[in-house]
Amino acid sequence: MTEFVFSFPVRVYYEDTDAGGIVYHANYLKFYERARTEFLSHFAVEQDSLLAANIGFVVRKMTIENKLAARFNDRLEVKTQIAYLKKASLMFKQWIEKDQQVINRAEVEIATVDLQKLKPVRIPDAIFGVLQSVI
């Protein structure tokens, strides 16, 4: 597994919570998505250039584990790293920390697809090289 860990800060807004004042479970997925996008952007990989080439990163599989609840106005850190990289897919390991304690974990398998044919394609060489450099 990679040594590089990307950290993305998230503040829990009122809109992120349910009637009980805790983060609604689906919103963790949004936090993870934002962190993956910022991870890629950190390495100058912008998804709009992929979209212009009719290539997309799509979630193929995801597992998520809730350990503790986050609440309104909590300051969280979403951590992201690449677990593995293949020719047409990669796996992100992600976790959310509150006060340096893990409250949620996820593994997200991403596939690269041709958006017109909806079939797997290779990750473009330039992007593959960038991602490979942080493993």
Q: Using one digit for the tens of pLDDT, what is the confidence trace for 21-56?
A: 999 999 999 999 999 999 999 999 999 989 999 999
What is the number of domains present in the chain? 1
| 46 occurs within a structural domain | yes
Listed in sequence order, the residues at least 6 apart from 22 whose beta carbon sits closer than 8 Å to its beta carbon are 69, 70, 71
What string of pLDDT tens digits covers the 135 residues of the chain? Answer: 458 999 999 999 999 999 999 999 999 999 999 999 999 999 999 999 899 999 999 999 999 999 999 999 999 999 999 999 999 999 999 999 999 999 999 999 999 999 999 999 999 999 999 999 998
| 119 occurs within a structural domain | yes
| 58 occurs within a structural domain | yes
User: What is the reported pLDDT for 135?
Assistant: 87
Of 18, 48, 114, 125, which residue is the catalytic one?
Answer: 18
| 116 occurs within a structural domain | yes
Q: What is the CATH number of the domain that holds 39?
A: 3.10.129.10
User: What is the reported pLDDT for 35?
Assistant: 98
Residue 18 bears catalytic tag: yes
| 1 occurs within a structural domain | no
Distances (CA, A) of 51 to 67, 88, 113, 115: 35, 16, 10, 8
| 61 occurs within a structural domain | yes
Domain, as residue range, for 118: 6-130
Residue found under tokens 């990750």: 123
| 108 occurs within a structural domain | yes
| 125 occurs within a structural domain | yes
- Given a contact cutoff of 8 angstroms between Cβ atoms, the answer to whether 50 and 117 are in contact is no
